[in-house]
Structure 1
């Protein structure tokens, strides 16, 4: 399992963090990972997780599977990744 903290208020985007988390769990190079949009819309992910106007940054949590990795992304900048054992 990999747990990475990011600051969404800076230039870091959740979609980039997802790729980093997948590489951390799988040990593969980012160029060996299928395009993220095969699993989730990266623009929608970025907009949802970094949306302004929420009462707290932890108001959103999204869990999905991508390339054999289960990922959870939260509005407070946390990305958790683990192998999908299904």
Structure 2
């Protein structure tokens, strides 16, 4: 993961660093839907269980299906953009790019 971070300078703050944007490389066996949730959790600083469900925005199976291999050949030019938990998310064949909108 690559991230741009903005640190909270409050001396007694227990707030962790807020990430403004992130590029998350999708693993070979990781479904894009899981990568989206992990990347958004990293940007928002929330646990994945505290995020609104991805299915409220897009069907996770359909998202994964867009990037599935067909006869051994992956889609090389597929891209999906959506808004999820206050973030702009773009999913490509190899990565998930997340930017906070709030």
Identify the TM-score tier after normalising by the shorter chain.
0.7 to 0.9
Alignment of 1:1-86 (within 5 A): 1-8=21-28, 10=29, 12-52=30-70, 57-75=75-93, 77-85=94-102
Aligned length: 82
**RCO higher in structure (CA 8 A, sep ≥6):** 1
Alpha carbon RMSD of aligned pairs, Å?
1.9
Question: Which consecutive segments of 4 or more residues in structure 1 shift more than 4 A?
Answer: 53-57
Q: Which has the larger radius of gyration?
A: 2
Where do 5+ consecutive residues of structure 2 fail to align?
Answer: 1-20
Q: Relative to total residues, which structure has the larger helix share, 1 or 2?
A: 1
Where do 5+ consecutive residues of structure 1 fail to align?
Answer: none
TM-score (norm 1): 0.84
Q: Relative to total residues, which structure has the larger strand share, 1 or 2?
A: 2
Shift in Å at residue 52 of structure 1?
2.0
Shift in Å at residue 57 of structure 1?
4.2
